[in-house]
Structure 1
């Protein structure tokens, strides 16, 4: 009987090990696609993929996190193209995924609070004049929470640089200051180590892009 139980336990451990390896492989492949997706449709498909992974790996916070991030990236592309009418729905979907991620990861996860900030910013952009004091204030609150939880996080520095760079000067923005903040963000990227290979590690390319624009301008 003891021999049977030992064999069963070893077999179970082996299956769990294989399942974990399969999860990590699939997640790694999907995370790599974040850097190559260019259209709202591609990000929607990627979000769907992460959602499906999350439905199978219901104890993991990263699949719903990345599903939310893909939605937010979809919204940011639409925003840049002047297509604001879908942003409320996209933000709501992202917030739904983030609720799931937070229930698994806990309330003290800076990466989740940062995405909440980005979702509220999408909502604000539907009508900045009317929503600055509501969604804009909530975005600022989430960013503040994220920074208190993980001040060394380069993605927090990146989003702060974005806000400074793209905010009109009459409202406190500055392209010059924003570029300096992108440099600070890149320095943090150089020093920051994700906890695991699957943990959030996006944003470096954007910081490098804006710094390169500054370098070209100064030639």
Structure 2
């Protein structure tokens, strides 16, 4: 009887390990595509893939995190293409995923980073009229992210972006933005993510801006 119990325990552990490794494998594959995708439709497909993973892995916050992040990245591409009228719908879709991730992992700095990014998309539809609402909301989310994890380099990347692209008459500065990108690079050198699947994006963007400033 004792041997049967041990065998059953080993089988359970083996099945659990296989399931976890299958989850890790598919997540790793999908995550690798997030920073290399450059097409809005592909980001939509990625978000849908992560959403399906989240439905299956109902206790995991990361699939919904990456569904939201993929959707936000789609919005950022649309913003650069000056398709500003589409940003509200994209942000609403991202918020749906953010809410699911937030429910599974409350008080998470990385999720507040996404909240900041989504609010910024809404602001960019009409910055002059929306700054006092969504601009302030974005800054509140970023402040909360920093309160939860002051060393998170993604916070500094977003601060650098805001500083770099804000006109000087409104408190921005390309020089100060570059300094913040440098600070982010330094943080990436020491920041330890909790698992290989945890958010680790932002370094390439900081390096890009620093390379441009060196020209």
Question: Shorter-normalised TM-score: what interval?
Answer: over 0.9
Matches within 5 A, 1:59-98: 59-98=59-98
TM value normalised by structure 1: 0.95
Q: 3-state SS of the aligned residue for 1:86?
A: helix
Please list every run of at least 4 consecutive aligned residues from structure 1 whose deviation after the TM superposition is greater than 6 angstroms.
none
- The count of residues paired between Structure 1 and Structure 2 equals 215
Give the Å deviation of 1:3. Answer: 3.8
Unaligned runs of 5+ in 2: none
CA RMSD of aligned residues (A): 1.0
User: CA separation in 2, counterparts of 1:8 and 1:180?
Assistant: 57
In structure 2, what is the Cα distance between the partners aligned to 1:90 and 1:2? Answer: 56
Establish whether residue 53 from structure 1 lines up as the match of residue 59 from structure 2.
no
- Residue 85 of structure 1: CA displacement? 1.3
Partner-residue secondary structure (3-state), 1:208: helix
Distance 2:35 2:87 in 1: 22
Gapped regions of structure 1 (runs ≥ 5): none
Partner of 1:162: 161
TM-score, normalised by the number of residues in structure 2: 0.97
| Counterpart check, 1:30 vs 2:30 | yes
Cα-to-partner distance string for 1:15-42 (whole Å, 9 max, x where unaligned) = 1110000000111111111121011111
What is the distance in 1 between the residues matched to 2:26 and 2:203? 23
